[in-house]
Structure formats: structure tokens, C-alpha cells
Amino acid sequence: MDVIGVIPARYSSTRFEGKVLADIFGKPMIRRVWEQAKQALVLDDLIIACDNELVAIVAREFGAKVVMTSKNHACGTDRISEVVNPLDVRIVVNIQADEPLIHPMMIDSVARALLDDASISMATVMKKIEEPAEASDPNVVKIVVDKNNFALYFSRSGIPFHAQNSKVKSPAYYKHIGLYAYTKDFLFTYRNLPVSRLEEIETLEQLRVLEEGFKIKVIETKYDTIGVDTPQDLDKVRPYFKKEK
């Protein structure tokens, strides 16, 4: 296979227990994510990787391919690694289980970045910030890139800083969307990288890649998402699905 998508679906969550099964107008959130991902054109297979039988039962009921994984994984990357280890696949797309608004074109774009350029081993997504408040919101991760759209840095702070004497009147800010594609080989390299200093400071796992000197290609999208970390976030997402009710 060339490309598979994996949705790591952990049942336990400190801020929102069982959020992957939270109802969004008659469908659990994990199904909303799966239905969006199924529309991607580039995926040869799509797997839900879960650690709880409740999630597995629900996912099988709506037709998803499910793989049970260890409950002891520290992060989604480890869970995905367990799933893809025995598979003959070139590229793996990590699709977050708490992103019900994920657009299938985002999935296609990160995978195609790797398919089209063998020198790229990891790719992710950014979206131009439209609401000024998001630039200073620590819950919105910002990203700056070089002229070739490779990541220079990720931060919870508003970067780049707009100096008072800057000749740029209105700098653009971009937020990071947590969708990743990796070559299978690099996925295991990434998994085995040590926790880095900047990662510990910002609590952003992707910084360990940059600190080790690897590159991350960044694809700009016009589509926005809302990650669901709390019940309040779920309330923000639900209006987007009202038309189906």
C-alpha cells in the first residue's frame, strides 16, 4: 500500500472522559472523524486504533476497520506505530480522533506532499489566522515557516513577534492543525527520538523533530478545524452539523 490513515482513539481523557464517543447529533465524534477521513482520495486503507472495547464496538457497528492496541501507550504516535509495524505501507497519516471537522483535502494534501517528493519524510498543516485573538491564545499553536514552507518553529506564543518599529503593518499569523503524515520509516525514527528541551518548555511534541535537525513540510489550507478537548469545545462544533438533523 502507498498510504494509510490511522485514527488513534484513546478513551481516557483528563479533561473529557470518553470524548471520542461524545454525541454530535446522533453520531459519536469518532464516527464524524472517520466519515470525513473516508472521503479522502489518497487513502488505501483507514484504521481506528483504540485501547477500549467500548470504542471498538461502536466503531465496528458503523463499519470501521478497528485494531485494538495497548492501553500503555503514552501518545498517539506510539499507538499508530503498533498498528503499522506489521504493515507494508509507505506513508502513514495520523488523523486526530477529536477533530470532527477535519477536511478530506487536508489528508490528501499532506500525503501527496510525501508521495510527490521522496526527500520529505514528514508533513503537517497550517491555516491563516482570521481572528486576532487566536494569535495570542496559548491553546492555539502558532507556526512559522521558511521560504520553502518547512517549519522553523511551533509555539503557543504569538509568533512572529510584531516589533513596534517593524515596516510590516499587518503580519500574517498561522495556526498549526495537528494532522501529520510520515513515511513509515520516519514514524519509527520519530517515535524513538528523546524528549527535547523545547518540547518540555512548550509541551509540543513536534518540536523534538526540529531540535534533532529533521524537517517538517507544512501545507497551507483554507479549511479550519476545531479540536475537541472539553465539553465546551463540543458545543462549538455541534452547530456545523445542525443541517443533518
| DSSP codes of every residue in the chain | --EEEEEEE-S--SSSTTGGG-EETTEEHHHHHHHHHHT-SS-SEEEEEES-HHHHHHHHHTT-EEEE--TT-SSHHHHHHHHHTTS--SEEEE--TT-TT--HHHHHHHHHHHHH-TT--EEEEEEE--SGGGGG-TTS-EEEE-TTSBEEEEESS-SS---TT-S-SS---EEEEEEEEEEHHHHHHHHTSPPPHHHHHHT-TTHHHHHTT---EEEEES-------SHHHHHHHGGGGGGG-
Q: In this predicted model, what pLDDT tens digit does every residue of 172-206 receive, in sequence order?
A: 999 999 999 999 999 999 989 999 999 999 999 99
pLDDT at 31 over 70: yes
Thinking of the domain 3-244, which architecture would CATH place it in? Alpha-Beta Complex (3.90)
Average of per-residue pLDDT across 109-123: 97
Q: In this predicted model, what pLDDT tens digit does every residue of 52-106 receive, in sequence order?
A: 899 999 999 999 999 998 777 767 788 899 999 999 999 999 999 999 999 999 9
pLDDT at 236 over 50: yes
Domain ranges (residues) in the chain: 3-244
Average of per-residue pLDDT across 13-29: 84
Confidence of residue 245 (pLDDT cuts 50, 70, 90): very low
pTM of the full predicted structure?
0.93
Q: In this predicted model, what pLDDT tens digit does every residue of 149-160 receive, in sequence order?
A: 999 999 999 999
Mean pLDDT (the chain, rounded): 92
Average of per-residue pLDDT across 5-22: 83
